[in-house]
Amino acid sequence: MANILTITIALPLLGALALAFLPEGSDDRAIKVVGVVASAAAFVASLVALAGFEFGDGGFQLEESFAWIPAIGANFSLAVDGVSLLLILLTTLLTPLILIASFASVTDRLKGYVASFLVLEAAVIGVFAATDLLLFYVFFEFTLIPMYLIIGIWGGKDRRAAAVKFFLYTLLGGLLMLVAVLYLFTQAGSFGYQDVLALELSQTEQRWLFTAFALAFAVKVPLFPVHTWLPDAHTEAPTGGSVFLAGVLLKMGTFGLLRYALPFFPDATVEFAPWLLGISVVGILYGAIVALMQSDIKKLIAYSSVSHMGFVVLGTFALNATATSASVVQMVNHGLSTGALFLLIGFLYERRHTRQISAFGGLAKRVPIMAGLWLLVSMSALALPGLNGFVGEFPILLGTFQTNRTAAVLASFGAVLAALYLLWAYQRMFHGPLEGADNENTSDLKRSEIGVLAPLVILIVAIGLYPKPMFDLVEPAVDRVLSEVGVDTTLDLDPVASTDAEG
Amino acid sequence: MEALLEYAYVVVLLPLISAAAIAAFGKQLPWKGAELGIAALGIGWLMSVGIAWQTFMNSPMEPVEEFFRWSPLGGGFVFELGMLVDGLTAMMLLLVTTVSLMVHIYSREYMKGEVRFTYFYAMLSLFTFSMLVLVIANNLLQAVIGWELVGLCSFLLIGFYWEEKSNQDAANKAFLTTKFGDVGLIVGVIVLSAGMFGLTDTPFNIIEINQAATDGLLSTSTIVLGMLLIFLGCISKSGQMPLHVWLPDAMAGPTPVSALIHAATMVTAGVFLLARLFPVLAQSALVMGVIAIVGVITLFFGGLLALVQDDLKKILAYSTISQLGYMVAAIGVGGYTASIFHLFTHGFFKALLFLGAGSLIHAVHSNNISDMGGMRKAMPHTFWTFIIGSLALAGFPLTAGFFSKDEILIAGEIWAGGGFLTGNLVYWIGLAAAGVTTFYMARACFLVFAGENRSHHPPHESGKQMVGPLMLLAVLSVASGYLLSPFSPDQPNFETWTQTPILDGDAVYPFTVDETVAFGVQGDGVIASSGSVLAAEAGDGPVSVLHGVPSWHPDLLAIVLVIFSLAVFLAWRFYGKGLPEKDPMLQMGPVTRALVAKYGFDDFGYRYIVVPVRDVLSRWATTSSNTYIDGAVAGVGKATKSAAMATYRTIDQKVIDGAVNGSALSAAWWSDRLKRIQSGDVQRYAGAIVAGVIVLVLAFAAAR
């Protein structure tokens, strides 16, 4: 279908537009219908894009381009490779689920809430699909505004501080990137992805530009030590905001690293890779250790995100076909499992209006379905084989081991710590004696809530059991990026040449 | 029959189907789901018997391997899903399905009236499935999956009575301790597969790894590092010291679970994996030495801990640790067949003992042997079967435990003959530990069955569904030993059944070539030979180990009988007339203190690992995140704000005056926006943004 990517971006925007023209004081029902229909339509559109996508081709596909600002040669050009298509699918899948899940708890200014999410969705799809550097930058920065509003208006009691912190952190990172983007424009004379890619940059230029890009993306991921905005943003954001933040927004950082930082600045990438591996490992362990201590379950999961996203960056900078492909798979896995966890936390919060782990206990007796799903999702997050986390984390370690053994071995201890904080939290909340009227009266998940979680849980199991489609989609694109960096991704099966891989 | 091997995967899938079916509609069935589990395991058991028969009668035979390339893992790695059916697999299938079936039948009565009865059966089936995934795996990645899934089931079943915090603590301790070892296993698998990379695109394939190792295609560093890391996984899973600490605590689970998971099957997974990779570890003297020493330490010190226990299940748990130590030690001294033979017989008699203990606990409502006594008359069937199990565990002549344990001692003797000290350790310490085993089992038996009834309940014999499995397991606790005994035929027997075809040919232990005393293994590379052959050749020239059925060893038999009689006599002196005022085991001063404190491992782990990580490191990291990093950010924020303010006041207001640029980043701008959010002006704000963007998009689309 022609211009399917533009259509995918336009559909949620049309929904937001419809909401804007909805008369003041109109029925909440109409708002809900518009929101769900528009985001579901975007999901269908992205499925159409998937149907038109040719697997096995690592280049950009479904390209479309419109003149945007002809004066400076900026185009509204979109295209996808396997990586961006996968992330678009994740975005369009999560958005309708988030909206449905939010309706029970968000009653205040519902129209603005739904509209913000639709705009946010469109912007994020734009981030993943843009092939024009300026367009990418605009989308990338634009995501800040709706997310800022979602945290700042519908968030918890310290939402203002959290929203400002979120905005400052990411904006500062973004400004550095803008400078780099403008420099690249002056060199290439165009914002086109391929034009910039064709540039021959000196080592010094690469170093500076890489640093600017990497910093902007590192804030988004977030990498240690620029992660401190995330726990606050998560804790204060409404459930839907947390799910979107963890599920999709963080991936813009890792996606950006893979799409821009690596292929644009291959020499700097190779030079800085060990540093990034080191930072990732520190983040993996640090995030996990801090998570252990948290008394607020949402903060605990927020810090676990720091740890898990560290794995993604580790895989990306292992610069190895296995690890880097798996890191893309892990982006999706993290989105699904952490998204599901935040949904569960939200459902529990609606019942109890607290997120203090100590307030709960013995809940499994009253809420067996929630407890079962919680455990399953926790197992996915701690990379239990058979679930999706494992098919991401294991190949990341496998590939990283080939390029940097120390990093791989240290990172693998993140798995032990993950088991520690997730099981400990589960135990404290759901097991033990059932005490107190609040715990006694907690009700189990409703059918609608199970319905929202169902797609995520099914994917968690399905990807764990059969990851082939994901790898098939991702691998050619990753190979293309790695070949730009100069990594040989062809499999050499000559026994003579590699008899002693150990050296 | 031949075709049966091709369908071995059905045995694996049956319990998965029953687990799903029990979870889905078990509650509506008359037996609340138990019938589904029993039926699935019954069919699986029949198939396993057929597979065992087929592989046994035709042994030695080529393994049947079937797999498909399930999924790429990026970069050319392929994740296979498949099965490898040879004697070792068939043996494990038989063991797992037999014990699991018995436990399924037994639990119907034992767990009657439990709140989560159906859930319990679903978990039993799920566990059986996971264990079978592990034993049938043709590649290490699939084995890891099964390995972790059994760990999960174990976690859920240890914490089955999760209303009690202590049970859940035990479950967590088990999961975390084994998870620590799992990291070793996973990294070890990665190391081996990295060594295989370039040789094949299926670097996890077990047969290929074994072949590459024996062909010398794997470097020494790969083998040593990889196998030691994998062994770390075995240490934690198979209860080897010092990571055994979780296993006694795991007794918090229901007793049938202890029988199935924590005695007969899951805890032997580590030994099984070592056996599967025996050709790889046999390449390195270092690896074998480490394995032997860990095994010897565990078999001795683990057994001693059973001496001071009052809880019958804990006595059995420590004896499991000790017996697993024998198996691991046997691997380390080249006793491949001896090790898995002991694994096989131990599975039956230890399951019997645990189920017997369950029957006792069911009757007296207490785990403590001090609350039992005089059970012989009230529970005759439990009594006889328990005694048979105890005799087998103690290695009394002509029971299964006798044949398999002696195989291990003899393997040690042979290894010692090759000039390896670890062989002597296994032989002598193994003998001493056998005495300890006999003593603590005799102590338990006297306290439970002799003397007066000390319980507060009138004891009664358990029903048919519990006694039946006990009797069948009692038969197997004796009969299984005759698969490899002086009475066995040359072929087929347990050794030909389970031998590893890759070890065909000479020079299994390449490191022995450089030794002064050359030590080659001929034939099928499996050490299970008669000691007499060795005794003749030990010490002078190359030791040649031939395979075949074991012969009688009058010297060893004599020592074993003396030790046995002595230990039983001592136990009778102390406990023959019921519970003594002061248990002599608790009067041994510092020895008792050390044993009661479990050598301080648990305490050490808590004080020097759990507390520092949880309370110190984690607290520090949290503070650093909140105070230092956030503080720095806040500092930058403040600086920016004042810079912006300065800009606003001096440059903007005074120099440019009225320009908008500067103010956009100033604090005033911020507070203004925030005020609007607060005052509910946001709808308009959001609406404006939305409208703006849409207009832009449409405009650019149109401008094309």
Q: Where do the domains of chain A lie? A: 265-503
CA dist B51 and B609 (Å) reads 46
On chain B, the residues whose CB falls within 8 A of the CB of A14 are 694
Contact indicator for A316, A261 with CB cutoff of 8 Å? no
Asked if B70 has any chain A CB less than 8 Å from its own CB, the reply is: yes
Shortest alpha-carbon distance between residue B5 and chain A (Å): 25
- The per-residue pLDDT for A383 is 86
| Single-letter code of the amino acid located at B314 | K
- Is the pLDDT assigned to residue B655 strictly greater than 70? no
Cα distances from B289 to residues A501, B116, B430, in angstroms, run: 26, 46, 16
Chain B interface mutation, best of A7, A232, A293, highest count of B Cβ atoms under 10 Å: A293
| Single-letter code of the amino acid located at A153 | I
- The per-residue pLDDT for B540 is 35
Contact indicator for A218, A256 with CB cutoff of 8 Å? no
Contact A492 B168 (CB under 8 A): no
**pLDDT tens for each residue of B396-423:** 888 888 888 888 888 887 777 767 788 7
Chain B interface mutation, best of A76, A143, A171, A228, highest count of B Cβ atoms under 10 Å: A228
CB pairs under 8 A between A and B: 251
E strand or H helix at B526: none
Give the closest residue to A171 by CA, choosing from A151, A145, A146, A191.
Answer: A145
**pLDDT tens for each residue of B278-322:** 888 888 888 888 899 999 989 988 888 888 888 888 889 999 999
Interface of B with A in 448-477 (CB under 8 A): none
- pTM for this predicted structure: 0.83
- Is the pLDDT assigned to residue B101 strictly greater than 80? yes
Contact B198 A412 (CB under 8 A): no
- The per-residue pLDDT for B544 is 38
| Single-letter code of the amino acid located at A297 | I
Contact A489 B75 (CB under 8 A): yes
- The per-residue pLDDT for B506 is 44
Contact indicator for B168, A427 with CB cutoff of 8 Å? yes
Chain B interface mutation, best of A164, A226, A431, highest count of B Cβ atoms under 10 Å: A431
- The per-residue pLDDT for A312 is 93
CA dist A401 and B191 (Å) reads 8
Reduce the DSSP state of residue B162 to 3 states and report it: coil
**Residue, of B636 and B10, whose pLDDT is higher:** B10
On chain A, the residues whose CB falls within 8 A of the CB of B77 are 322, 395, 398
Shortest alpha-carbon distance between residue B202 and chain A (Å): 11
Contact B691 A142 (CB under 8 A): no
On chain B, the residues whose CB falls within 8 A of the CB of A292 are 613-614, 618
Radius of gyration of chain B (CA): 31
Give the closest residue to B254 by CA, choosing from B162, B343, B177.
Answer: B162
**pLDDT tens for each residue of B573-600:** 877 777 777 777 777 777 777 777 777 7
Q: Which residues have CB under 8 Å from B451's CB, separation 6+? A: B373, B374, B577, B578, B579
The share of chain B scoring above pLDDT 90, in percent, equals: 9
Query: Across residues B609-630, what is the average pLDDT?
Result: 71
Asked if B590 has any chain A CB less than 8 Å from its own CB, the reply is: no
CA dist A425 and A361 (Å) reads 10
**pLDDT tens for each residue of B154-201:** 888 888 887 777 788 888 888 888 888 888 898 899 888 888 877 777
Asked if B627 has any chain A CB less than 8 Å from its own CB, the reply is: no
Query: Across residues B658-663, what is the average pLDDT?
Result: 43
CA dist B266 and B134 (Å) reads 10
**Secondary structure (DSSP) of A317-375:** HT--HHHHHHHHHHHHHHHHHHHHHHHHHHHHHHHHS--BGGG--SGGGT-HHHHHHHH
On chain B, the residues whose CB falls within 8 A of the CB of A440 are none
Contact indicator for A464, A387 with CB cutoff of 8 Å? yes
- The per-residue pLDDT for B1 is 54
Contact A66 B152 (CB under 8 A): no
Q: Which two tokens stand for residue B467?
A: 């006694």
Q: Which of B73, B187, B618 sits opposite A395 (nearest CB)?
A: B73
On chain B, the residues whose CB falls within 8 A of the CB of A149 are 677, 682, 685-686
Peptide bond into B380 cis (omega under 30): no
Asked if B703 has any chain A CB less than 8 Å from its own CB, the reply is: yes
**pLDDT tens for each residue of A150-209:** 887 887 777 777 777 777 777 777 888 888 888 888 888 888 888 888 888 888 888 888
Q: Which of A290, A386, A497 sits opposite B625 (nearest CB)?
A: A290
Q: Which of A153, A365, A398 sits opposite B682 (nearest CB)?
A: A153
CA dist A499 and B217 (Å) reads 6
On chain A, the residues whose CB falls within 8 A of the CB of B686 are 112, 115-116, 119, 146, 149
Q: Which residues have CB under 8 Å from B57's CB, separation 6+? A: B492
Q: Which two tokens stand for residue B115?
A: 């709140």
**pLDDT tens for each residue of B236-274:** 888 888 888 888 888 888 888 888 888 888 889 999 999
CA dist B91 and B495 (Å) reads 11
Cα distances from B324 to residues A310, B272, B286, B701, in angstroms, run: 38, 11, 20, 72
Q: Which two tokens stand for residue B462?
A: 């358990």
The pLDDT profile of chain A, 503 residues, written as one tens digit per residue, is: 678 889 899 999 998 888 888 877 667 888 888 889 999 999 999 999 999 888 888 888 888 888 888 777 788 888 999 899 999 999 999 999 999 988 888 777 888 888 889 999 999 999 999 999 889 998 988 888 888 888 878 877 777 777 777 777 777 778 888 888 888 888 888 888 888 888 888 888 888 889 889 988 998 888 888 888 888 888 888 888 899 999 899 999 999 999 998 999 988 888 898 999 999 999 898 888 888 888 889 889 988 999 999 999 999 998 888 889 999 999 999 999 999 999 999 998 888 888 888 888 888 888 888 898 999 999 999 888 888 888 888 889 888 888 888 888 888 888 888 888 888 888 888 888 887 878 778 888 888 889 889 999 999 999 988 888 888 899 889 988 888 888 776 655 444 333 443 33
**Secondary structure (DSSP) of A257-306:** IIIIIHHHSHHHHHHHHHHHHHHHHHHHHHHHHHHHH-SBHHHHHHHHHH
Contact A474 B74 (CB under 8 A): yes
Contact A395 B77 (CB under 8 A): yes
Query: What is the maximal distance between C-alpha atoms in chain A?
Result: 76
Q: Which residues have CB under 8 Å from A64's CB, separation 6+? A: A2, A3, A5, A6, A77, A78, A79
Contact A323 B622 (CB under 8 A): no
- Is the pLDDT assigned to residue B528 strictly greater than 60? no
CA dist B316 and B309 (Å) reads 10
